[in-house]
Amino acid sequence: MALCYHTGIGVPQDIIKAHDLWLDAVEKGHLDSFHYCQSIANVGYPRGQFMLGHHYQHGIDTPANIQVALQLFHLAAEQGYAPAQ
């Protein structure tokens, strides 16, 4: 479904909804979480930045790196993402 929203196939294109659906799947363990969080964070989506920061903070699918985690949390917080604030 996320791919449909991302591309606009069968539904109105909605990139934000696509990102949310991908991140919901990541949280439920259905996808390669680090890869998807990284992809979504790289386009500047704050929830993706926050979740990628969580991966770096706890060493999930990547070596722990607190400095990178804090940078990602700050990026998300600057965009008003409440959990990062």
Sign, Cα dihedral of 39, 40, 41, 44: positive
Read off the pLDDT of residues 19-38 as tens digits, 9 standing for 90 and up. 888 888 877 877 677 888 88
* pLDDT value of position 82: 94
* pLDDT value of position 28: 81
Read off the pLDDT of residues 31-69 as tens digits, 9 standing for 90 and up. 677 888 888 898 898 988 998 998 899 888 889 999 999
Q: Is residue 33 within 8 Å of 61, Cβ to Cβ? A: yes
What is the 3-class SS of 14-42, one letter each residue?
CHHHHHHHHHHHHHCCCCCHHHHHHHHHH
* pLDDT value of position 31: 63
* pLDDT value of position 15: 84
Q: Is residue 23 within 8 Å of 36, Cβ to Cβ? A: yes
